[in-house]
Amino acid sequence: MSDPFKQADDTRKVLTAGEDAAGRLDAWLADALGGEYSRSRLKALIEQSAVLVNGTAVTEPKRKVHPGDAIEITLPEPEDPEPKGEDIPLEVLYEDNDLIVVVKPAGLVVHPAAGNWTGTLVNALIHHCGTSLSGIGGVRRPGIVHRLDKETSGVMVAAKNDAAHRHLSAQFADHGRSGPLERAYQAVVWGRPKQLRGTIDAALGRAGDRTKRAVKREESEDAREAITHYEVVERYGEKPDATCLASLVECELETGRTHQIRVHMAHIGHPLIGDPEYGAAFKTKANLLPERARAVVNSFHRQALHAFMLQFEHPTTGEVMRFEAHAPDDLETLLVALRAMN
């Protein structure tokens, strides 16, 4: 790629695409700026209308770059890399000198990152625990040994010192294969798997962007082993042919890949109700539901997934500790409406 002309100050850069310019805007910018900014950060800036192409704001990171394009990017003031404590309510299930167990609500991001520098679980933990959180997870992830998606609710544990962090992290890395770690989730899915109990063993990898995942062939370069065990525990709107409109499924993870349950359930034809990424094609199935259930489903704007149980070995005492969290109000309302169909 020929060198683009650059004019820069602290917050603004202007570039002109050369004769050989091509490809996505976010990727081109990352290359043109010499790695000064990550592609994920540039993507976020584009989505925030901070990039103009030929004088017009562009919000699609995949927008193609053409020779001669005049591209102007406005950079925000530098962020403070160290998160601050914020008085965000926490539901604490257990706490001692080594760790804290909380129930993360849906809608709360676990740790600061592009687009979510404040208002995260980490900010809440810093406010609650002060300086006692383990620093081994890094400046932006103090105490964090595992995570849940923003819109997934449920039980989480955080470490309050480095020894506890190492011990807990090792348990999560082992996925319970040689220890007592267990993670169980409730998922409300469309339809009903043919087998009421089974295992989904399907490798996962990236699906075109930084966060989305898809089932991949094992020989694919980015394929990672992913195993989910599931059991159907409730069925809603059951028909004479043994099919049903929706089901409550309990899932246990043998691995911990990004979006694992969501992708695996969609892979076998039963995506989670409310899942905007992997269940959008099933949205019209709500029309098959009775009026009350249809209204609740249509107003449920997140994946119906709740991490209801977490079990692990205490890093100091060796005691096996098990914690459960009841379904949050929105999920309970969904379950009540679906149960009324039976």
Residues labelled as active-site residues: 149
For residues 154 and 261, the answer to whether their CB atoms sit within 8 Å is: no
In sign, the C-alpha dihedral spanning 39, 45, 48, 53 is negative
Instruction: Give the DSSP H or E segment for 74.
Output: strand 70-74
User: 121 and 145 in contact (C-beta within 8 Å)?
Assistant: no
Cα 208 from Cα 216, distance rounded (Å): 12
- For residues 121 and 141, what is the distance between their CA atoms, to the nearest angstrom? 10
Closest by alpha carbon to 333, among 92, 106, 119, 102? 106
- Determine the residue type at 322: R
Cβ count within 10 A of residue 172: 17
The answer to whether 315 and 333 have CB atoms below 8 angstroms apart is: no
User: Which DSSP state fits 116?
Assistant: B
322-326: long-range contacts at Cβ-Cβ below 8 A with a sequence spacing of 24 or more? 322/182, 323/93, 323/94, 323/101, 323/155, 324/155, 325/91, 325/93, 325/103, 325/153, 325/154, 325/155
